[in-house]
Amino acid sequence: MSEMNEWKLRETMCEIGRRIYNKGFAAANDGNISYRLSEDRVLCTPTRVSKGFMKPDDLCIIDMDGKQVSGKRKRSSEMLLHLTALKARPDLRSCVHCHPPHATAFAVAREPVPKCVLPEIEVFLGEIAISPYETPGGQAFADTILPYVKDTETILLANHGTLTLGTDLEDAYFKTEIIDAYCRILILAKQIGRVNYYGDDKAAELIKLKPLLGIPDPRLTRGLENCDLCGNSLFREGYGDFSPEAKVFVHPKLIDQAAQAGETSTCGCTVGRAEFPGSAAAPAPSAKPSANGSASGNGSASGTDVDALVRSITDQVMSALNGSAK
């Protein structure tokens, strides 16, 4: 790579830093950005420098083990997160980590970001994961993204912020901007009334458009493009001990599934489990149906009683979600 090309990349990284700072995605000295220059060299932002006021010669170059190769300022301690992501995704070159407020609110609440709401999100982001919390800076923190990063380029870091990956600096940054705008829309919609979802057929149409746009999606290779898309997530089941549970932005399909946790759909996909916040309208935790069809808790029910219980729970939860619970 020529010196001119590297200098241009440095200028672009500083410009991305200004956008992040001006958007309110990184207060003070928060956030960090990286770009893979070559197989064993990564350009990155320094520690304790505001992303809004960086200069090209403030930036550092490190190797793939995190050792600083050049730069008058020390590299960010969170570069291990970037390097772990770049090693897992050799097809991508850039990472952006910051704290966009609306997306970070979902990360703090550990609220899964719902699908089947905005077409642009399905096409340009796809699945969005939440990785478990770990103290930032070390390799243990960096490793929290490993179960997810091969299936998504947008990850919420629990109680921390976001990590987005891209083919170049702007691509990685745009995903940060998109996820925060989407989370803001979800919060506003919930304040106005409720979030409405489109169906699986429309979601499948969007996913099948992605190859035409040169955008890969792991759900296509796994045969999930026609499989209960709005009710299932790649990250809801099977990714270790950490499993964020939907509490507010719940697709209607998951409401019935909450009363039948562990049921398998006809296409073979495992149905996810949704928990709902405690309220006067929500079912008590002890009233969940058990595997044999009876309701556990202080009493028991079977047959038509169970059906009536499920209908009652569904009606109450829908009432609570619509803001009409008394």
Nearest to 161 by CA among 188, 179, 138: 179
How many other C-beta atoms can be found within 10 angstroms of the C-beta atom of residue 93? 19
List the structure tokens of 317.
């939860």
Contact 232, 269 (CB under 8 A): yes
As for how many domains the chain has, the answer is 1
279 within a domain of the structure (yes/no) = no
180 within a domain of the structure (yes/no) = yes
Q: Which residues span the domain enclosing 130?
A: 3-192
Q: Torsion angle of alpha carbons 180, 184, 186, 187, nearest 10°?
A: 130
The predicted pLDDT at position 52 comes to 96
105 within a domain of the structure (yes/no) = yes
Cβ neighbors of 100 (< 8 A, separation 6 or more) are 23, 24, 25, 161, 162, 176, 177, 179, 180, 183
- 100-134: per-residue pLDDT in tens? 999 999 999 999 999 999 999 999 999 999 999 99
The residue type found at 215 is I
Q: What is the CATH number of the domain that holds 133?
A: 3.40.225.10
Which segments in the chain show pLDDT lower than 50? Answer: 1-3, 264-268, 270-303, 324-326
Query: How far, in Å, CA of 317 to CA of 252, rounded?
Result: 10
Nearest to 88 by CA among 140, 6, 138, 143: 143
174 within a domain of the structure (yes/no) = yes
The predicted pLDDT at position 321 comes to 58
The predicted pLDDT at position 311 comes to 62
27 within a domain of the structure (yes/no) = yes
98 within a domain of the structure (yes/no) = yes
- 8-34: per-residue pLDDT in tens? 999 999 999 999 999 999 999 999 999
133 within a domain of the structure (yes/no) = yes
The predicted pLDDT at position 313 comes to 62
- 199-214: per-residue pLDDT in tens? 999 999 999 999 999 9
198 within a domain of the structure (yes/no) = no
Query: How far, in Å, CA of 221 to CA of 165, rounded?
Result: 20
The predicted pLDDT at position 43 comes to 98
The predicted pLDDT at position 189 comes to 97
